[in-house]
C-alpha cells in the first residue's frame, strides 16, 4: 500500500498534460475555421451586393430611367479598380475623394457599369445624367456589377435585352413551348369541321391532302355532316392546349417607352398613313381613327410594338393596311381591350398581332390578304374571311373560316374549328419554325 501513495496525483497530472496538448493542437484549427467562416460570409455578402447592383440596373432600364448620374461607373473604373462612385447598401451613393477614402476596403457596397452592345452607348457617372438618354426596348445592354464586402469583391457581368425580360416584343417576354404543334395543321379542344375535298384553283397548289394532322374531340366532314376517316385525323389531343395570352401583355405599363406623339391624334382622314421610326414603340388611341382609314408602314420597325388602346372604341377597330419588315423580328400590334378588332386590307412583311378579344381577318372585304409571315393570337374568337399564306393562328375561343377563305399554316384553338363556304386549309409550319416569331411567355390552357 505504501508504494502506491501519490499515484492519483501522477495520473491527474498526466491527464491534464494530455488535455493541454489536445487544446493546443485544436486552437489553430478553430482559428482557421473561424477565419474561413468569416471569409465565406464576406464572399456571400459580396455576391449579394453584386446581385443587388445588377437588379437595380435592370429595374432602372425597365422603368425607362433617364437619370444615370451619381450611381454608375465607367469602363476606366473597371480597368484600374479606382471607382468614382459606389453605392453603399442601406445608405447613399458614395463619391468624391473624401467619402471614398474608407469605403473601398470597408463595408458592403456595389458599383455598376452599363453599356449598350447594340449601339455602343455607355451610361456613366457625370455624363448622360441630364435626361438626354432613355433606354430603348430591344436594345441589348451589358451590365457589369461589382460587389464588395470588407475588401472581398465579386463580379456579375450579363447582357440584358430591354423589353425581353430575357426575350422580345417590346416588353413581352416570349418563350411559351408550342412543340406539340409539330406537324399539326389544326389543334382544337372542341369539334373540327372541315371539307375533306381541299382542291381549289388559285395561285397556290392545294391538293386533296391536308398535309398536317387534325386534332379534336370530333372530326366532321361539313359536306355530309359526319365523322370521316382520313390519314391526318388523330382524334382528341390528350394534353393542355396553350391558347390564353397572359393579361400583362395587354397592360399599358408593360410598354413604358411608347411614343404617343405620332399616332395618338389621327383624325380619321382617308389619306391617313404613317411611316414608323425604326427605334420606337408607339401608342395608338383607336377612338381617333375612323374605320378602314389607317395605313401603318412599319417596314423599318423590326422587333417594335404598336400598342392600340381600343378601350374607348364603341365599334370594332379596323386598320386598312400594314407593311411589316421584310426580315428580322416581326412588328407587333397589341389590341389591348376585349372590344372586337378587325382587319380589311393587305398585310405584307413580318407581322404579329395580339388581341385581347375577338379578331376578324376580313369582314367587309373578301379580298383581305396576308402574303408575308403572319402570327395572329387572340384571347377571343378568330374569324378568317380572306387569304393567309403562311400563318399561325391561335384563339382562346373558336376559329371559323368563311366564304372561300384560304389558310396555309397552322391553327390552334380552345374551342371549335370550322370551315364554311368551301374554306380551304393546308399545313405549313414556316411561322413557328422561324426563330424570330415567338409567342408570349406564360400562355396557358385558359
pLDDT tens for 266-311 read 544 444 677 888 878 888 887 776 665 678 889 999 988 989 888 8
Burial of 398 (0-12, 13-18, 19+ CB in 10 A): buried
Summarize the confidence of residues 415-443 as an average pLDDT: 89
Is residue 14 very low, low, confident or very high in pLDDT (cuts 50, 70, 90)? confident
Q: Place 20 in a pLDDT band, splitting at 50, 70 and 90.
A: confident
Question: What is the band of 123 on the pLDDT scale with cuts at 50, 70, 90?
Answer: confident
328, pLDDT greater than 80: yes
| 396 within 8 A of 245, measured Cβ to Cβ | yes
Q: Do 226 and 371 share a structural domain?
A: yes
Give the separation between CA 121 and CA 135, rounded to whole angstroms.
10
CA distance 99 to 128: 23
Q: Is the pLDDT of residue 163 over 70?
A: no
Residue 342 lies in a domain: yes
- Residue 3 clears pLDDT 60, i.e. is over it: no
Domain end point (choices 131, 161, 191): 161
Structural domain contains residue 4: no
Element (H, E) at 23: helix 7-62
Amino acid 165: pLDDT: 44
Q: Does residue 285 lie in a domain region?
A: yes
Residue that terminates a domain, selected from 161, 191, 218:
161
Do 252 and 386 lie in one domain? The reply is yes
Task: Please report which confidence band the pLDDT of residue 167 belongs to, taking 50, 70 and 90 as the band edges.
Answer: very low
Both 90 and 218 in one domain: the answer is no
pLDDT at 366: 64
Report yes or no on 311 lying in a domain. yes
Sequence-separated (6 or more) residues with CB below 8 Å from residue 208: 196, 197, 198, 199
Instruction: Give pLDDT, residue 45.
Output: 87
Q: What is the mean pLDDT of the chain?
A: 79
Average pLDDT over residues 194-202: 65
101 plus 208 within the same structural domain: no
* Beta bridge mates, 29: none
Poorest-confidence range of 99-103, 245-249, 323-327? 99-103
Residue 135 sits in the same domain as residue 278: no
End residue of a domain, out of 132, 161, 190 = 161
Q: Is residue 207 located within the same domain as residue 115? A: no
- Any idea which of 197-201, 202-206, 274-278, 332-336 has the lowest mean pLDDT? 202-206
Q: Is the pLDDT of residue 202 over 60?
A: no
- Residue 35 grid cell: 477565419
Total structural domains within the chain: 2
435 Cα distance to chain centroid: 14
Q: What pLDDT does 5 receive? A: 61
358 contacts 377 by C-beta, under 8 angstroms: no
Position 174 confidence tier, pLDDT thresholds 50, 70, 90: low
Stated as kind and residue range, the H or E segment containing 80 is helix 75-80
In a domain, residue 442? The reply is no
pLDDT at 245: 94
Q: Kindly tell me if the per-residue pLDDT of 383 is higher than 90.
A: yes
Is residue 138 pLDDT above 80, yes or no?
Answer: no
Range of weakest confidence among 29-43, 346-360, 372-386: 29-43
Identify whether residues 211 and 324 lie together within a single domain: yes
Query: Is residue 16 in a domain?
Result: no
- Is position 82 within any domain? yes
Strand 213-215, strand 219-221: pairing: unpaired
Please state, in angstroms and rounded to a whole number, the distance separating the CA atoms of residues 222 and 419: 8
377 vs 10 pLDDT, higher one: 377
Question: Residue 188: which pLDDT band, with cuts at 50, 70 and 90?
Answer: very high
Average pLDDT of 390-417?
94
Q: How far apart are CA 365 and CA 195, in angstroms?
A: 23
Q: How confident is the model at residue 417 (pLDDT cuts 50, 70, 90)?
A: very high
Residue 83: the pLDDT is 74
Range from 257-266, 279-288, 320-329, 425-434 carrying the lowest mean pLDDT: 257-266
Would you state the pLDDT for residue 100? 55
| Domain encompassing residue 184 | 179-433
What percent of the chain clears pLDDT 70, i.e. is strictly above it?
Answer: 76
Same domain membership, residue 217 and residue 141 = no
Q: Kindly state whether residues 152 and 270 are assigned to the same domain.
A: no
Region 154-160: mean pLDDT is: 82
Rank 10-19, 163-172, 271-280, 380-389 by mean pLDDT and report only the highest.
Answer: 380-389
Query: In this structure, are 133 and 238 located in the same domain?
Result: no
Q: Which residues, 6+ apart, have CB-to-CB distance to 361 below 8 Å?
A: 342, 343, 368, 370, 376, 382, 383, 384, 385, 386, 388
Mean pLDDT of 400-429: 89
Give residue 68's pLDDT: 72
Average pLDDT over residues 188-200: 81
Mean pLDDT of 234-245: 91
Residue 370 lies in a domain: yes
Question: Residue 169's pLDDT is what?
Answer: 39
Give yes or no: residues 273 and 342 share one domain.
Answer: yes
Q: What is the DSSP letter of 328?
A: S
Same-domain pairing of 314 and 399: yes
Amino acid at each position: 500500500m505504501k508504494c502506491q501513495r501519490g499515484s492519483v496525483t501522477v495520473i491527474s497530472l498526466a491527464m491534464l498534460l494530455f488535455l493541454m496538448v489536445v487544446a493546443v493542437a485544436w486552437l489553430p484549427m478553430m482559428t482557421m475555421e473561424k477565419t474561413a467562416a468569416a471569409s465565406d460570409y464576406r464572399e456571400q455578402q459580396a455576391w449579394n451586393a453584386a446581385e443587388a447592383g445588377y437588379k437595380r440596373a435592370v429595374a432602372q432600364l425597365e422603368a425607362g430611367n433617364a437619370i444615370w448620374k451619381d450611381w454608375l461607373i465607367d469602363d476606366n473604373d473597371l480597368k484600374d479598380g479606382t471607382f468614382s462612385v459606389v453605392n453603399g447598401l442601406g445608405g447613399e451613393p458614395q463619391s468624391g475623394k473624401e467619402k471614398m477614402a474608407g469605403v473601398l476596403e470597408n463595408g458592403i457596397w456595389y458599383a455598376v457599369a452599363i453599356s449598350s452592345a447594340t449601339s455602343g452607348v455607355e451610361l456613366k457617372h457625370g455624363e448622360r445624367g441630364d435626361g438626354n438618354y432613355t433606354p430603348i426596348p430591344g436594345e441589348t445592354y451589358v451590365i457589369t456589377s461589382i460587389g464588395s464586402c470588407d475588401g472581398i469583391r465579386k463580379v456579375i457581368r450579363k447582357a440584358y435585352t430591354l423589353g425581353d425580360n430575357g426575350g422580345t416584343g417590346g416588353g413581352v417576354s416570349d418563350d411559351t413551348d408550342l412543340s406539340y404543334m409539330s406537324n399539326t395543321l389544326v389543334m382544337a379542344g372542341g369539334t373540327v369541321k372541315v371539307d375533306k375535298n381541299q382542291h381549289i384553283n388559285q395561285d397556290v397548289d392545294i391538293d386533296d391532302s391536308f398535309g398536317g394532322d387534325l386534332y379534336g374531340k370530333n372530326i366532321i366532314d361539313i359536306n355530309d355532316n359526319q365523322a370521316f376517316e382520313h390519314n391526318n385525323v388523330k382524334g382528341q389531343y390528350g394534353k393542355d392546349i396553350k391558347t390564353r395570352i397572359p393579361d400583362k401583355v395587354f397592360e399599358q405599363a408593360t410598354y413604358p417607352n411608347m411614343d404617343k406623339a405620332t399616332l395618338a391624334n389621327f383624325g380619321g382622314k382617308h389619306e391617313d398613313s404613317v411611316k414608323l421610326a425604326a427605334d420606337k414603340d408607339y401608342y395608338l388611341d383607336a377612338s381617333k381613327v375612323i374605320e378602314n382609314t389607317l395605313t401603318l408602314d412599319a417596314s423599318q420597325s423590326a422587333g417594335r410594338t404598336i400598342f392600340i388602346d381600343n378601350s374607348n372604341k364603341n365599334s370594332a377597330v379596323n386598320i386598312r393596311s400594314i407593311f411589316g419588315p421584310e426580315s428580322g423580328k416581326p412588328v407587333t400590334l397589341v389590341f389591348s381591350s376585349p372590344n372586337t378588332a378587325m382587319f380589311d386590307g393587305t398585310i405584307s412583311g413580318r407581322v404579329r398581332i395580339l388581341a385581347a378579344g375577338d379578331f376578324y381577318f376580313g369582314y367587309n372585304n373578301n379580298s383581305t390578304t396576308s402574303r408575308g409571315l403572319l402570327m395572329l393570337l387572340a384571347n377571343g374568337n378568330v374569324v378568317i374571311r380572306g387569304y393567309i399564306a403562311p400563318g399561325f393562328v391561335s384563339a382562346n375561343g373558336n376559329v371559323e373560316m368563311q366564304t372561300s377563305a384560304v389558310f396555309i399554316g397552322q391553327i390552334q384553338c380552345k374551342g371549335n374549328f370550322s370551315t364554311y363556304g368551301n374554306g380551304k386549309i393546308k399545313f405549313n409550319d414556316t411561322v413557328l419554325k422561324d426563330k424570330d416569331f415567338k409567342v408570349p411567355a406564360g400562355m396557358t390552357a385558359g
